[in-house]
A = this chain, B = another copy of it.
Amino acid sequence: MNEHANHTLTVGLGERSYPIEIGHGVLERLPHIIGELSEGGRTAIITDENVNAQHGDVLRAVLDKAGIEHCTLAVAPGEASKSWSVFQQVVEELLSFRLERQDLVIAFGGGVVGDLAGFAASVVRRGMRFVQIPTSLLAQVDSSVGGKTGINSASGKNLVGAFHQPSHVLIDLDFLRSLPAREFRAGYAEVVKYGLIGYSDFFDALCEKHEEIFAFGPMLETAIAQSCQAKAEIVAADETEKNKRALLNLGHTFGHALEGFTSYDGKRLVHGEGVAIGMMLAHQFSNRLNLCSMDDVQRVETHLKAVGLPTRIQDIPGEQPSVETLMSFIEQDKKVSRGRLTFILTKGVGQAYIANDVQAAEVAGFLKDKIGS
């Protein structure tokens, strides 16, 4: 176990810039980081019950050894914790701990915990700093970087929240060893996404070395670092998603619709799986619009299948969605601007772009063919 990060990146956002440290055992760096951010500060760990049971004691031992005061707040695992009631409870508990504005919140867990804890930190005393310690692959390569935080609304997913950047992101690969294979694979879909968006060399490297990633070889750290580097560049260029950042939504409009259709039932479909199917649909739709070649579509499909990710709507177990159901979720998605649908389309692997003028009828026609087939 190395005591020092093998990779350190920076998200360049002026006075809101922060480092991302990636490596095996980098959790040991936490006391130093807290010392730099908040000398003598107290910390509140926000986590979920599963992560707390598996890794909570390791984290607390690191803090105890350094004499850093901490308390732990563990929510129920799963998307249902991104609710108003859990959010209110977390915020009120943070306040009842008498944390001061200089103290730190630690978001310790997967994407749900990061989104919830980051949003809570953003509103306690109008903004406390927080550190992201993501424990799932999905959170390590995607949600822990970039400052998107929030909860779900009755009107849709992630519609209530804040852009609140963390002060530090600490990515310890050792946490991934206890991650269930299905969750690891789902997180890997977001890794593939970066290749598909704008880094075709990275996609080629993934195709070549994916077995090494799933075997926890050195390529795992490289893939995480490259994913974070890609995300950091995009976030630095467009923090609040006025334009370029929307590329990160490749596959997500279809994916969210599929998640909505399954009522976010993780037994049937987890987020990364929805993104995998969504990315396939985005490529197929682009091909139908004569934007990208069938060869590109097949390369994507071959790779997603090689790692065991689903690629078709029919891969979702149980009842199948109607076109109408999916369209109602798609039109409700927040990536709608003045009534026109915004989609991330692609001209081929590594050549995704933002299309602001996609007609709903075209999408519906495409889905009809897919669901009928």
Contact = CB atoms under 8 A, between A and B. Distances in A.
Interface of A: 40, 84, 88, 91-92, 95-96, 98, 100-102, 122-127, 148, 150, 153-156, 159-163, 240, 334, 336-338
A307 B335 CA distance: 53
A110 to B, nearest CB: 20
Contacts of A127: 162-163, 240
A161 B337 contact: no
Given A95-B155, A155-B96, A162 B160 contact: no
Contacts of A337: 100-102
A124 B127 CA distance: 17
A91 B338 contact: no
Contacts of A102: 337-338
A162 B338 contact: no
A35 to B, nearest CB: 15
B154 A92 contact: yes
A95 B159 CA distance: 8
Main SS at interface, chain A: mixed
A148 to B, nearest CB: 7
B154 A96 contact: yes
A148 B240 CA distance: 20
Given A102-B337, A124-B160, 9 more contacts: A84-B88, A95-B159, A101-B334, A122-B162, A123-B150, A123-B160, A124-B159, A125-B334, A162-B162
Nearest to A338: B100
**Which of A102, A125, A127, A162: most chain B CB closer than 10 A?**
A125
A148 B126 CA distance: 8
Contacts of A123: 123, 150, 160-162
Nearest to A149: B126
Given A100-B336, A102-B338, A91 B126 contact: no
Nearest to A159: B95
A95 B153 contact: yes
B155 A240 contact: no
